[in-house]
Amino acid sequence: MTQHVPTSTLPVTYRALRVEKTEAGIQASLQTLPTTDLPDGDVTVQVTHSSLNYKDGLAVSGQPGVLRSYPMTPGIDLAGTVLEDRTGRWQAGQSVILTGWGIGERQDGGYATLARANADWLVAQPAGTDAHWAMSVGTAGFTAMLAVMALEEHGVTPGDGEVLVTGAAGGVGSTAVALLAAAGHTVVASTGRPQEEAYLLGLGASRVIGRDELPALKRPLEKERWAGVVDSVGGATLAGAYASTRAHGSLAVCGLAGGSELNASVFPLILRGVNLLGIDSVTCPAPRREAAWARLARDLKPDALAAVTHTRPLSDVPALAGQILAGQIRGRTVIDVT
């Protein structure tokens, strides 16, 4: 790749939330940087909105494992307009969405007014939607969509029985509840926040269960309960959900908010034909991305997301990072980058 030469169409400077490693530890601060500091790449995007995900919380709080080098601009999601594209694939002024592909981890991400990306990473903003909507969906909602698509592709059909969503009051969980309910499924929401019961029922859950119920299911094969599962918690929650999935049911495994281990037997796989499906939003191939965003635009209208979305300025991100790690954020948080 040749070095990108800034042109007069680009601003001279941009504002970014930078995470740096100093002698005092890892620190995040808002900085104004020369545009020449942007990473190399095909497309320059004027970012208007980003979002807050669990992974962003880890990155901004200086937890190991997300940011691969320092200094770095976190933010695994962004939406905005193209300023220039040296491949010619995108036109200046086109509205685009970028999630995953390592932005906000291996290269500068969405917590900045400008971003650079490969042309292949971008998705056109679906007709009838805007950047705020896209970021209220964000990686969390996109992941929920991939999970629902995976369940459907493995035969989970409305009318089959209850579909369980764990970590239901979180970003992936809230959107999964809304998407599954919109598709006609009977949704059971598992949450550690009983005070969010009315919120989850409002999203379309038919009933709510406590966070403790699933880890209590410890036998290799429990009573068959779930036709499908969207899991963002992992650990003993996933193990309990897996042991209680009905014959030929499927689990879409998205996250590890409650633990990364999976202590389980092969019995649900070999005696019930249960499907354990992995979901990875970061490297999801482009055609599947476009299909997921088109379906999100169809099934998740802006008013459906209004109740689950809060909008906060870029300067609030350091405080919000601690809150999402503490499980205190309900639904989705859009970051207004302008």
Residues of the shown chain interacting with ligand NDP in the complex, contacts defined by CB under 6 A: 53-55, 139-140, 143, 167-173, 191-193, 211, 232-233, 237, 254-258, 279-282, 324, 327, 329
Q: Which is nearer to ligand NDP, 82 or 324 (CB)?
A: 324
CA 73 centroid distance within chain = 18
Residue 267 CA to residue 272 CA, distance in Å, equals 7
Whichever of 40 and 261 has its CB closer to ligand NDP, that residue is: 261
Minimum CB–partner distance for residue 145 and ligand NDP (Å) = 11
Residue nearest to ligand NDP (CB): 170
Q: Which is nearer to ligand NDP, 89 or 218 (CB)?
A: 218
Shortest Cβ 254–ligand NDP spacing (Å): 5
Rounded to a whole number of angstroms, the minimum distance from the CB of residue 289 to ligand NDP is 12
User: What's the closest the beta carbon of residue 54 comes to ligand NDP, in angstroms?
Assistant: 4
- Asked whether 183 and 299 are in contact (CB, 8 A), the reply is yes
**Closer of 15 and 330 to ligand NDP (Cβ):** 330
Q: Provide, rounded to whole angstroms, the least separation between the CB of residue 119 and ligand NDP.
A: 22
Pick 96 or 147: Cβ nearer ligand NDP: 147
